[in-house]
Amino acid sequence: MILVQLSSGAGPLECCKAVAMAVKRLECDAKALAIKVNTLAVEQAELSGCYKSVLLELTGAEPRILKQFAQQWHGSMLWVCQSPFRARHKRKNWYFGGQLFEMAEQKFDSEIRFQQCRASGAGGQHVNTTDSAVRATHVATGITVRVESERSQHANKRLARLLLMQKLAEQAQQAASQQQKSRWQQHNELQRGNPIRTFKGPEFSQTHKGKG
């Protein structure tokens, strides 16, 4: 199982729009390969239909196929297009980035402490009367996530496990590159230039594909 995170970095709204279109393109390409795409987390931009960050889970195909597909979305990417929000804006190059995380689920549960907790919600909602929310803590590092977005405790537990694994994988990658920064700070380091893929126009058609 592989996770792919697409990010607009510190870029403007146009970069957030590029991320949203990239998600649609990724889902379409994945469908052709019988790869299932599940959205785990989304950070919305200030305008509907634009995303600062999206975390996607890829499953349903053999590991080799999943990795080859995910690698196509790993690195700096470019959308070349006139701004859809600022008609007279001269800039046409909008960068966004992708990062993949490979997850090994075997024996991972033994490293996690799961706790049931009462879900929070608006007053009067039935969600307040159940203990469907889950808090997952990685015992060795103390990293904790809380999930209550799903209806069942089983679904919340599964999502909590995935998010925790993503955080641990990201921490390992940052340590390997001597970057001691959080996920959101890392978004600000999105490198421009030498994009692995370039897309063009409002239709987001691909014009160049780099290595991977």
**pLDDT band per the 50, 70, 90 thresholds, residue 97:** very high
The span from the CA of 136 to the CA of 122, in Å, is 23
Q: And the tokens for 54?
A: 């999206």
Q: What local confidence, expressed as pLDDT, does residue 86 receive?
A: 93
Q: And the tokens for 74?
A: 């790993």
Q: Which segments of the chain belong to CATH 3.30.160.20?
A: 109-175
The span from the CA of 36 to the CA of 137, in Å, is 27
Q: Which segments of the chain belong to CATH 3.30.70.1660?
A: 2-105+183-209
Q: What local confidence, expressed as pLDDT, does residue 105 receive?
A: 58
Residue 78: how many other CB atoms lie within 10 Å = 22
Q: What value does the mean pLDDT take over residues 83-103?
A: 90
119 vs 56, residue with greater confidence: 56
121 vs 7, residue with greater confidence: 7
Residue 181 clears pLDDT 50, i.e. is over it: no
Phi first, then psi: give them for residue 66, nearest 5 degrees. -60, -45
Q: What value does the mean pLDDT take over residues 14-39?
A: 96
CATH 3.30.160.20 fits 109-175, yes or no: yes
Express each pLDDT in 30-76 by its tens digit: 999 999 999 988 999 999 999 999 999 999 989 899 999 999 999 99
C-beta separation of 200 from 207 below 8 A: yes
Classify residue 119 by its DSSP letter. Answer: P
Q: What value does the mean pLDDT take over residues 145-151?
A: 85
Q: What local confidence, expressed as pLDDT, does residue 191 receive?
A: 57
The span from the CA of 202 to the CA of 20, in Å, is 12
Strand 112-117 relative to strand 133-138: parallel, antiparallel, unpaired? antiparallel
> In the chain, what percentage of residues exceed pLDDT 90?
43
- Out of 121-125, 139-143, 190-194, 208-212, the most confident range is 139-143
Q: And the tokens for 171?
A: 């921490």
Q: What local confidence, expressed as pLDDT, does residue 171 receive?
A: 73
C-beta separation of 35 from 60 below 8 A: yes
Q: What value does the mean pLDDT take over residues 67-95?
A: 94
Q: What local confidence, expressed as pLDDT, does residue 121 receive?
A: 57
C-beta separation of 78 from 199 below 8 A: yes
Pick the CATH number of 2-105+183-209 from 2.40.160.60, 3.30.70.1660, 3.30.565.10, 3.40.190.10: 3.30.70.1660
Q: Which of 150, 172, 193, 197 is nearest to 41 (CA)?
A: 150
Q: What local confidence, expressed as pLDDT, does residue 104 receive?
A: 62
pTM of the model: 0.69
Q: What local confidence, expressed as pLDDT, does residue 167 receive?
A: 82
